[in-house]
Amino acid sequence: MAFGRLERRARPVPFSDINMTPLIDVMLVLLVLFIVTAPLMAARLPLDLPRVQADAPQALRSALTLSVKADGQVLLEDQPIGEADWPLRLQQAAREDPAAELHLRADARVPYGRVAELMAAARAAGFARIGFAVDAAAPR
C-alpha cells in the first residue's frame, strides 16, 4: 500500500477590510431623507411674534404727480406741459417743498428709457422721494 502524501491546504486568511457597501447605502438613505425633510422643516417654523400697538399713520406728505401717456405726452398734475417746461416746473416745485414726493405715472407702453429719463430729471430737480403709481392687479 502506497501512502501518498496528503496535501494540506493553508488555512483561510481572515478578511480584515471593512465592507463599505452597507455603510454607503445607509449614508445615501440618510442624505436623501435630509434633503427631503429640510425644506419642510424650514417652511413650518412655529413663531410666536410679539404683538404691538401700531401708531397712527403719518399724515400724507404733499405729492406732485407726473404722468406720461403712451404717445409720450407729459402731464404735470394732469395738465399737459411742454417738453422744455416740465424740468423747470419740477425744479420750482422741489424748491417750494423739499419734502414733497413725486408720483410717477407712466403708461405700460411707454419705453423704459423714457421713464428712466423722467426719473433722472426728477432727481436732478431735487426730489428725493419718487414713487411709481400702478393699478391694482385683479385677484387670481
CATH code where residue 88 lies: 3.30.420.270
Q: Tell me how crowded residue 64 is: count the other CB atoms within 10 A of its CB.
A: 19
101 assigned to some structural domain: yes
* Residue 64: closest CA among 27, 14, 104, 109: 104
Average pLDDT over residues 113-133: 87
What is the reported pLDDT for 27? 95
11 assigned to some structural domain: no
More confident residue, 60 or 80: 80
Q: Which three cell numbers, joined as nine digits, stand for 46?
A: 412655529
What is the rounded average pLDDT for all residues in the chain?
Answer: 78
How far apart are alpha carbons 139 and 117 in whole angstroms? 32
How far apart are alpha carbons 5 and 2 in whole angstroms? 9
CA distances from 2 to 6, 8, 24 (A): 12, 18, 56
* Count of domains forming the chain: 1
Residue pointed to by grid coordinates 404691538: 52
| Tens digit of each residue's pLDDT (9 = 90 or more) over 31-60 | 999 998 887 776 554 544 445 565 554 555
How far apart are alpha carbons 83 and 73 in whole angstroms? 8
53 assigned to some structural domain: no
Residue pointed to by grid coordinates 426719473: 119
Strands 79-80 and 101-106 come out as unpaired
What is the model's pTM?
Answer: 0.53
19 assigned to some structural domain: no
Q: Domain residues for 111?
A: 63-132
100 pLDDT higher than 90: no
139 assigned to some structural domain: no
107 assigned to some structural domain: yes
124 assigned to some structural domain: yes
**Residue 100 zone, left/alpha/beta (φ > 0; ψ -120 to 50; rest):** beta
